[in-house]
Structure 1
Amino acid sequence: MSDLTSSASKSAHLNPQSLEEPAGTIGLRVVQHVVFPADKDLDVLPLYMDSDAVPNVPMTDEKPAITVNMPSAGTDLHPDDLLGRRAVRVRAGKRLSFGSYFNAFPAAYWRKWTTVSTVSLRVQTSGSGSLVVYRSNARGVTQRVESFRVSGESTNTHELSLEQFGDGGWYWFDLIADADGMALVSADWSVPDNGKPAGRLNIGVTTFNRADYCSRTIAAIAADPELRAILHEMIVVDQGNEKVQDVPGFGDIAADMGTQLRVINQPNLGGSGGFSRNMLESVDGEIADYVLLLDDDVVVETEGIRRSATFADFCRVPTIVGGHMFDMYDRSVLHAYAESVNMWKFLWGPSGDLYHRHNLASQNLRATSWMHRRWDVDFNGWWMCLIPTAVIKDIGLSLPVFIKWDDAEYGLRAKAAGYPTVSMPGTAVWHVSWIDKDDSVDWQAYFHGRNRLVAGLIHSPYDKGGDLLRQSLAVDVKHIFSMQYYAASARVMALRDVLSGPEHMHRTIGTRAPELRAMKGDFSDSSMQKDPAAFPPPRRRRPPRKGMEPSAPKLYALGPWLAKTLVKQTAIPASEMSALNPETAIAHQDSKWWRLSQLDSAVVTNADGTGASWYKRDAKKARALLRESILLHLKLRQNWKELQEQYRAQLREVTSPQAWETTISEAAARDSAGK
């Protein structure tokens, strides 16, 4: 086996450019390399390969396969079998499958969105064994395509048709070693070259006090020569006061990147302000064909970035190419795969019947039938999203919304202009997920509420926004009944701003967030304490009815229950004791609005478990907030058509480079004057 390892290791360290056009494949362009994690992390290995054979379980429309093979992570994956970024050892008598998230070929997406009709698989091996090529259909049924015996130093190339992948399906291959073992030296997927030069790429990162994360992302990109071959510029827009340029070792990284790295410091204009600056610089430069937006708190798979740009090169029309999101702290968990906007509710979420958080270490790609269907989307999150500069020149920059809904609105705007978004399998980042966050109850509640309404005014096809206004009011009621008066007040402010017209967005983008944070001190529900001893012990004037905590109201009894709760919340003062001692302590996962609404006070743990806040019922405050929310929603409903015309008419102006240049300049002037 030592000879196999030596051969594979040597090939794994070849100049990557030497693999772009291997002998006998002139006229092909490599669009996807088979790769392995550079850090040999066992937690992510199931995303690159697995060692389990999947039985071909018959599936019908009546009985779709949800689980075919459970233990994907297996006990036969060994990090020390990785011989380099592109090479791996297959132990004697064992099978390795590359029907994995990062290494299978998403044939259905190439079939639908590009001009490509065939793909060629090239596999270099060392040693004796079998090479088996598989495909799947849209229902996840596995079909064997062809099988070959290999021995010695071997290179096999197989041309495969994309004709049958109209609704879904992947290609992949397995290696099965003989008694002496074998090694994968390298493998890649190529398509016929379309004769166009490779598009030039800008990478745009917006960061706010995530300097360490950001510097690691820069270092990862600096270390990938093939990515840098198509990279024009990496532009980091630093909006924080903990600067990426101050990170130890940054100077060495910057020297390595040379003119391919540019750091721009600007005042904090949120994600939309930072990414708009990335777009603006990319369009003004007149060199980049694409700008790939990246969040600052991510871990990148650089091969995925290169794949995004390469896929875009072959698309039929200028296409936004998005990457998926894996959980930074549970690295085999696919958090977001395909997302759309429910236009009646005007709310984003997983497309169709998809769900967040699928663990590919427990159920691999080959065993997950829904991943074999092609999922079409409305937008992609800007944790990783490539946008052609031609699209930016046509439809403008981000809506000036600071944070929240900027990516979804942009995808809807692009779609209306004829530019699709593709959430592309095999392109992804690891990002801090929001399962341990609940930013709907802090200052960001303003942006959740306002930006959903603004996007709805621009894009909703329904009269008066469909169900949007009813749902918006329901969110306010839940906050008020939950004693979350800070979040409710922020949302009332959002309603006022929406009613004032589209001009307020640029005017307030640099000031609204600080104003919202300054309000926190006025509300006990937003005053978080880290010390559990900061609160008095719970005491109740009366014990829970029949010793049971409140439960969710039944649908048939919801009307009377709401009426009774409304009276309690707005007309009956809270008990004096509840102001001295909380009635109870509630874990975050138990802090449902229907439970909190039955209390006079409670200590509630925050989403990430780092502290808690004391919620105190205030009938006067609840009455005032509820009244204002109802009146503002009624006014919004009455003026919907007029406001819709205003927001739509001014969309091109508020997203124009000129408007953003003015906003950025004014923010910089304010920042300088304040120092």
Structure 2
Amino acid sequence: MSADATSTNQPADGTATGTGSEARYTTLQRVILPTAAQMDTIPLYVDIGSAAGAQLSTMDGSAEDSRGVDRSVPVSSSGGTAHAEDFISRTATTVRAGNRISFATYFNAFPASYWRRWTTVEAVRLSVRTRGTGTIIVYKSNARGSLQRVDSTRVSGPADTVFDLPLAPFGDGGWYWFDLVAGNESLVLEEAGWQGVDDGHTPGRITLQITTMNKVSYCLDNLRLLADSPEALELLQEILIVDQGSSKVADHPDFETVAARLPGKLRIINQANLGGSGGFSRGMYEAVQNGSDYALLLDDDVVIEPASISRLLIFADRCRKPTIVGGHMFDLYNRTVLHTFGEVVNPWRFQPDQPVPEQVLGHDLERFTLRNTPWLHRRVDVDYNGWWMDLIPTSVIRELGLSLPVFIKWDDAEYGLRAKKAGYPTVSLPGAAVWHVSWIDKDDLVGWQAYFHIRNRLISALIHSPYERGGKVLRESGYADIKHLISMQYYTAAGRAMALEDVLAGPDQLHRILPERIKQIRGMTSEYPDAQLAPDVEKYPAPHVEKPPRHGRGFSAPGYSKLVPWAAKTVTRQLLSPVSESAKERPQAHIAHQDNKWWRISQYDSALVSNAEGTGVSWYRRDPAELRQQLTRSAALHAQLLREWPRLRRQYREAAARIASIDAWAETFAAYTEGEVRR
């Protein structure tokens, strides 16, 4: 038996007998299994591949062996066959005779390093209840992802087995998990869980808040999930939907049936469209007003793993100090793909970034399992968590206020930075997650959202950037304008210019313009062909070009050393060269969204361009006069921002607490609340 663990077969009734004293244990993380409707997510719950972990060098701290071969590269799981009929319930499953399954998975391995770093828990107990003959094997990993066997025991008949496991070795990373190996007959796992000593603390109460904008079916589906999850529902003081759409949740014909399953829990506030920041701020505000301990913010277009709610709460309750605890995001349409494992804000560029260089955006846990992906074993410390699922203590809200009134984009990142500056960390907790439409199939840097991206990025940089003039943020903004303009994306560039003007106008207008700007920006679409979308490409003339660009050669991005002369030549040509009559009458090419790169589209005078969602096509057309006017406007605005940055920084930092305060938001809510529904 390992020196750092003990195992016994005894009743798993929550009582452990030690050296003459008794300790009560409570569940920190229950082992869960997929529902019948979620069979495509099996790899997130059970690993039926080989038991091998990543191959790492033991000679030194590098990931290369003596021959210089990189052993840190994930190896595809050898896989096995999952049988849906083996899953008896959400806590019970059958291991067929002679087979082996592992719980080294996202939802069932225990993220030991996170508990060691952020909570008061010093040791964990694994409790496993089985029926039949077989073996339980406990493993752990270190921050480099190497697998280490901890302990094992044989079980026979009905058995309750516990393993007492320390958290001391997990300073920089690592997980615990266990495997089940069946003997000559099947072995049944009836239930299992990771437990901690009961500290007598009364669990906190949550206001679960969903901000929605015409996503009625998603909201109703999540309400059904909660109604079907009594353990999660028990923790909720209130379920609050902030409905900002024109299609109301309460008007759906299924609403009353769903609401009847949540008696006394459900409240809907109908208010004008104040964006994500207005909706989430309303949830934070109401959680403070109703006396909840936490506000749990959720996007509307998500599918919840209900066990995540209790995991977030139990972790947050045991943190050393008030801590924001968020869940990860999986791809709704490819459900084993982990979109991101944690985010920070790059202080020089002031852009979201990944805290671990090896981290993969869109990591498929079906192909590359937890056991053979080294970077997943390193603890990832973050600056913020996306508000697709984020648990915020109301004590933090009372001190820091609500979101900045910025409609959408950067509200979650800015709040995380604000909390960090005040001494309140954010933890993105493995094992807690939702499924959400990923950003991979979106392009919100183009179109009406571009206004909010650059405006809110600049506001956040003015408040939080450690650099005198925001580091690289203004330079990158200027580059982005040039790329949009030579790509004939005049609508996007016009929105970005409006954003810069609003930044220069100062912080005290932000509440006033909160519901207005979205209408104004969308109202500009009729002025720009690149903003007008047709669902059918046949609406446009068939593409034709008399002389293909680059003499018919392929396109490639200019190298760094050639970028400035290339850009100068391209801008000069677009400004001075007249648009041919044929390019005015019909597009020169049809460019798929994934091929719509600035160095390609800029070589045409007109082109049909598909949008990211694949739902429509726009006709981009070069306009030298528009390009000249917008280039001049962009240059002037960026020069003014650079000049006035020190003044604006003082202004925004002084106003930040005031405009994010509970009192300031209360006035906005009073002005834009349209009604309330309680069930």
TM-score, length of structure 1 as denominator length: 0.94
Q: What is the aligned counterpart of 1:345 among 343, 346, 349?
A: 349
CA distance in 1, matches of 2:63, 2:221: 48
Alignment of 1:188-587 (within 5 A): 188-286=193-291, 288-353=292-357, 354-587=359-592
- 8 A contact 1:584–1:601 mirrored in 2: yes
For residue 62 of structure 1, what is the aligned residue in structure 2? 63
- Compared with structure 1, are the counterparts of its residues 240 and 31 closer, same or farther at alpha carbon in structure 2 (3 Å cutoff)? same
- 8 A contact 2:36–2:84 mirrored in 1: no
How far is the alpha carbon of 1:553 from its aligned partner? 1.1
CA distance in 2, matches of 1:56, 1:259: 48
Asked if 1:643 corresponds to 2:640, the answer is: no
- 8 A contact 2:54–2:145 mirrored in 1: no
Tell me, which stretches of 5 or more residues in structure 1 are unaligned? 1-17
Q: Tell me whether 252-261 or 624-633 shows the greater mean CA deviation.
A: 252-261
> Secondary structure at 1:189's aligned position in 2?
strand
- 8 A contact 2:12–2:127 mirrored in 1: no
Asked if 1:51 corresponds to 2:51, the answer is: no
- Compared with structure 1, are the counterparts of its residues 254 and 563 closer, same or farther at alpha carbon in structure 2 (3 Å cutoff)? same
CA distance in 2, matches of 1:425, 1:559: 44
- 8 A contact 1:55–1:68 mirrored in 2: no
> Secondary structure at 2:40's aligned position in 1?
coil
CA distance in 2, matches of 1:664, 1:610: 35
How far is the alpha carbon of 1:623 from its aligned partner? 0.7
For residue 5 of structure 2, what is the aligned residue in structure 1? none
Q: Tell me whether 557-566 or 91-100 shows the greater mean CA deviation.
A: 557-566
> Secondary structure at 1:398's aligned position in 2?
coil
For residue 8 of structure 1, what is the aligned residue in structure 2? none
CA distance in 2, matches of 1:56, 1:545: 50
Offset from partner CA, 1:301-348 (integer Å, 9 cap, x none): 110111000000000010000100000000000011111110100001
Q: Tell me whether 55-64 or 393-402 shows the greater mean CA deviation.
A: 55-64
How far is the alpha carbon of 1:667 from its aligned partner? 2.7
Tell me, which stretches of 5 or more residues in structure 2 are unaligned? 1-10, 65-69
For residue 131 of structure 1, what is the aligned residue in structure 2? 136
CA distance in 1, matches of 2:243, 2:202: 32
Offset from partner CA, 1:177-209 (integer Å, 9 cap, x none): 001111100000111122221111111110110
- Compared with structure 1, are the counterparts of its residues 251 and 19 closer, same or farther at alpha carbon in structure 2 (3 Å cutoff)? farther
CA distance in 1, matches of 2:149, 2:295: 39
Amino acid at match of 1:252: T
CA distance in 2, matches of 1:388, 1:513: 31
- 8 A contact 2:484–2:493 mirrored in 1: yes
Amino acid at match of 1:626: L
CA distance in 1, matches of 2:413, 2:71: 31
- 8 A contact 2:63–2:72 mirrored in 1: no
Q: Tell me whether 576-585 or 373-382 shows the greater mean CA deviation.
A: 576-585
Q: Tell me whether 544-553 or 190-199 shows the greater mean CA deviation.
A: 544-553
- Compared with structure 1, are the counterparts of its residues 224 and 20 closer, same or farther at alpha carbon in structure 2 (3 Å cutoff)? farther
- 8 A contact 1:42–1:78 mirrored in 2: no
TM-score, length of structure 2 as denominator length: 0.94
- 8 A contact 2:525–2:532 mirrored in 1: yes
CA distance in 1, matches of 2:515, 2:356: 36
For residue 32 of structure 2, what is the aligned residue in structure 1? 35
Offset from partner CA, 1:356-413 (integer Å, 9 cap, x none): 1000000111111100000000001000000000110011100101000100000000
How far is the alpha carbon of 1:244 from its aligned partner? 1.3
CA distance in 1, matches of 2:74, 2:673: 57
- 8 A contact 1:67–1:363 mirrored in 2: no
How far is the alpha carbon of 1:19 from its aligned partner? 8.5
CA distance in 2, matches of 1:65, 1:306: 37
> Secondary structure at 2:612's aligned position in 1?
coil
How far is the alpha carbon of 1:65 from its aligned partner? 4.0
The structure with the greater share of residues assigned to helix is: 1
> Secondary structure at 1:367's aligned position in 2?
coil
- 8 A contact 2:16–2:25 mirrored in 1: no
CA distance in 1, matches of 2:638, 2:424: 33
RMSD value, Cα: 1.7
Amino acid at match of 2:560: L
CA distance in 1, matches of 2:391, 2:521: 32
CA distance in 1, matches of 2:636, 2:12: 66
For residue 8 of structure 2, what is the aligned residue in structure 1? none
CA distance in 2, matches of 1:537, 1:57: 53
Q: What is the aligned counterpart of 1:90 among 88, 95, 110?
A: 95
CA distance in 1, matches of 2:34, 2:54: 30
- 8 A contact 1:20–1:29 mirrored in 2: no
Amino acid at match of 1:352: V
Q: Tell me whether 534-543 or 132-141 shows the greater mean CA deviation.
A: 534-543
CA distance in 2, matches of 1:497, 1:594: 30
How far is the alpha carbon of 1:278 from its aligned partner? 0.2
Q: Tell me whether 196-205 or 371-380 shows the greater mean CA deviation.
A: 196-205
> Secondary structure at 1:259's aligned position in 2?
coil
CA distance in 2, matches of 1:55, 1:424: 25
> Secondary structure at 2:183's aligned position in 1?
strand
CA distance in 1, matches of 2:372, 2:471: 38
> Secondary structure at 1:179's aligned position in 2?
coil
- 8 A contact 1:510–1:667 mirrored in 2: no
Alignment of 1:134-213 (within 5 A): 134-213=139-218
